[in-house]
A and B are shown apart, each in its own frame.
Chain A
Amino acid sequence: MTWRPRLAEGTAPVLVVLLLLLVGLALAGPAYDEPSGYLALLKRAAPLMILAIGQYFVIVSGGFDLSVGALVTAGVVIAARLIDGDESATTPVILLVLGFGLLVGLVNGLITTKLLVPSFIVTLGMLLVLDGATFLWTDGAPRGALSAAFRTFGRGALDVPLLGEIPWSVLILLAILVAAALFMRSGTGRALVAAGDNEAAVRMSGGQVDRLRLLGFVLSGLLAAVAAILLGGFAGVSAQVGNGLEFRAITAVVLGGVLLGGGRGSVVAAAAGALSLEALFTLLNLLGVSGALESAVQGLIIIAAVAYASLGGGLRQRLRTRPKQRNTVQPAPS
């Protein structure tokens, strides 16, 4: 009955990296002497962290979701055109954007599971369709404007007693993170990981692999819509708002020690990976590294992270699960 905090496998390294980055920030920038600096960082990182959580659900069940960047752009552009500065339209449009994300996830999931198309291809196709359709609808450039109420979620703050002003996006992020962590401890969450680890075993034991994967895609689409609402508020309307976010989210998830191909890793670590990425960019910025080199550093880091996971931490795991597979199978003597 004793409860002890347990870290999922692969979580520790990213937390260490995150801690080092946060300490680095405190040393490098005077803004990070007080909590408000870190709160601002968290606010900036919230959309990416939410995307990473969504991407985690898909990756851990054995897929990819390349459509989230285009979905974020589509969400912001759709919201701007439909609201067009009209405050009263805010609530229905928010619901519509969330519903749209859900629908896109559903389509991704259904095509992947029912038509047996690899998720990489499905979501790549969805990326093309979303990019094309959104701008076909708006004649090539984003139009309209978001209402102030819509933008509150991205840039506003809520006055919480005792704690002071907490940005909405941070509160939303925390709610999603807690919900995701609890979900991953539930039976469905564990089955989702199992579906990514060993599909056949889950099928044999009566798990609905297709339904689980579908759920992963739906959650990813829904969370991408949430990220779109936050980013629209934070950064405003632009046609480039979601550019490259899919790769950034996948990077964050991988940085969190989650195995591509599924079956390993925790959702908290994926979110921590996203926060580390954002903290890293902030740190590089403070240290005066040119923005151009940011992507090069990002590239080096993800290669290092994956190499570490598969050579270092993963080695023990591999030896344990597949004991000396290579050596036990000998070619027949001729």
Chain B
Amino acid sequence: MSILQQHTTARHTVRRPALRRRFTPVVVVYLALVALLVIGSVLVGVRGEVLLDQAGILNILTRSTALGLVAIGQTMVILTGSLDLSVAYLIGLTSLIAAETMAGQDGMVVPGVLLALAVAAAVGLVNGLVITVLKANAFIATLGVALILRGYLEDNYTGPAGDVPRGFQHLGYDRIGPLPVAALLMLAVAALAWWYLSRTRPGYHIYAVGGDIEVARLSGVPTRRVVVTAHVLCSLAAGLTGIYLASRLGSGAPYVGTDAGYDLESIAAVVLGGTLLAGGRGGVVGTIGGVLILATLDTIFDDLAVDPFFKDVVRGVVLVTAVALYARRMMADRTRGRLA
């Protein structure tokens, strides 16, 4: 019954496919972002303030940086049809490793960064191998690794530790004009990820594996290697987030990732950006749009002095509504026999 119904509604609502084709989730996300900025500016303007002044832009971009970095990595694993619940604890761990290795000395900045990234890559490798070799469901595998990391953190740390030299804190606070350096670096990472996903063979393999892992395998794609690589890249992105947060905070903090809920939040941002949770479709551009929407929402609510708990309610509603809209579009496309 339902399929027939959708079929007929699809026929009725979709009159101009050419126009519809242009409204991909990515376009929808950025249109929503613009709409949000306009509505937010009006609402904030009513209170006699300006949303997009210097401080506002800075606020939005700073909020986007950490979540953006995690979400870029999360996009890669979700595109393969996997997901990573361990990023939040990994962020805490890498912030501690970076800050403790640096120990306030300028000379130790590079070793600190490299060590943090190496540990992150190792965790990603473990995630990937548990999923591909032990054939554990990605949800359980990364949840298990998250719990192991949590146990390590709880056993060894009670609070912030380590010390980041002043020179390294420039990464977190310096600006070029109105734009924070770190936000630009995040966008550079996003650009790199976009290039990797849409212009290279390994990137295409990620989409192939996410679309149908069995078909990808039969077509000669090294599926295991693709999944493991995606997880390593995701963990490296989480490692970068940890390093960035260490430079912002001036030290490492075990729960800096979990307090912000970066595990579920990053998945929410990716899905909000139009990437399918089941994998195979989507991309980094949409994810950055999703991240910017979440950050803009936060900034608007702060300017309007809205109860912080109300933010969570809105986030939940926005997330479900957005995905429901994408799902409707996909059904409409599918009944017309076209895979957008």
List the interface of chain A (C-beta within 8 A of B): 64, 66, 111, 115-118, 120-122, 124-136, 140, 210, 247, 250-251, 254, 260-261, 290-300, 302-303, 306-307, 310-311, 326, 329, 331
Contact = CB atoms under 8 A, between A and B. Distances in A.
A114 to B, nearest CB: 9
Interface stretch (B39-47, B50-58, B319-327): B319-327
B317 interface: yes
Interface in B296-340: 307, 309-317, 319-320, 323-324, 327-328, 331
B104 to A, nearest CB: 27
A132 B149 CA distance: 28
A326 B141 CA distance: 24
A247 B277 CA distance: 19
Given A293-B155, A306-B137, A124 B264 contact: yes
B144 A303 contact: yes
Nearest to A132: B312
A296 B327 contact: no
A219 to B, nearest CB: 21
B23 interface: no
A208 B152 CA distance: 46
B312 A292 contact: no
Interface string B135-146: 111011101111
Contacts of A300: 144, 148
B284 to A, nearest CB: 19
B130 interface: yes
13 contacts: A115-B320, A115-B324, A116-B331, A117-B323, A121-B323, A127-B264, A132-B313, A140-B309, A254-B140, A298-B151, A299-B147, A303-B145, A331-B218
A295 B310 CA distance: 31
B309 A121 contact: no
B246 to A, nearest CB: 22
Contact of A121 (B144, B150, B315, B319): B319
Could you tell me the dominant secondary structure of chain B's interface residues?
Answer: helix
Contacts of A126: 316, 320
A295 B143 contact: no
A294 B151 contact: yes
Contact of A292 (B151, B268, B328): B151
Contacts of B148: 295-296, 299-300
B327 A299 contact: no
Given A115-B324, A127-B264, 13 more contacts: A117-B320, A117-B324, A121-B320, A124-B268, A133-B309, A133-B312, A134-B309, A136-B310, A250-B139, A261-B137, A295-B154, A296-B155, A299-B147
A116 B277 CA distance: 12
Q: Which of B141, B217, B316 has the most CB atoms of chain A within a 10 A radius of its CB?
A: B316
Nearest to A299: B147
A125 B320 CA distance: 6
A329 B317 CA distance: 45
A242 B340 CA distance: 41
Contact of B271 (A121, A129, A297): A121
B146 A299 contact: yes
Given A136-B310, A306-B136, A118 B323 contact: yes
B19 interface: no
A311 B134 CA distance: 7
B327 A117 contact: yes
Contact of B317 (A116, A125, A261, A307): A125
Contact of B307 (A118, A124, A136, A210): A136
Given A131-B312, A295-B150, A329-B218, A306 B319 contact: no
Contacts of B324: 111, 115-117
B206 interface: no
B267 interface: yes
B130 A303 contact: yes
A296 B151 contact: yes
Contacts of A247: 143
Nearest to A325: B214
Contacts of B316: 124-130, 132
A299 B328 CA distance: 37
Contacts of A329: 218
Contacts of A132: 309-316
B192 interface: no
Contacts of B155: 290, 292-293, 296
Contacts of B331: 116
B14 interface: no
A311 B277 contact: no
Contact of A118 (B147, B264, B277): B277
B272 to A, nearest CB: 9
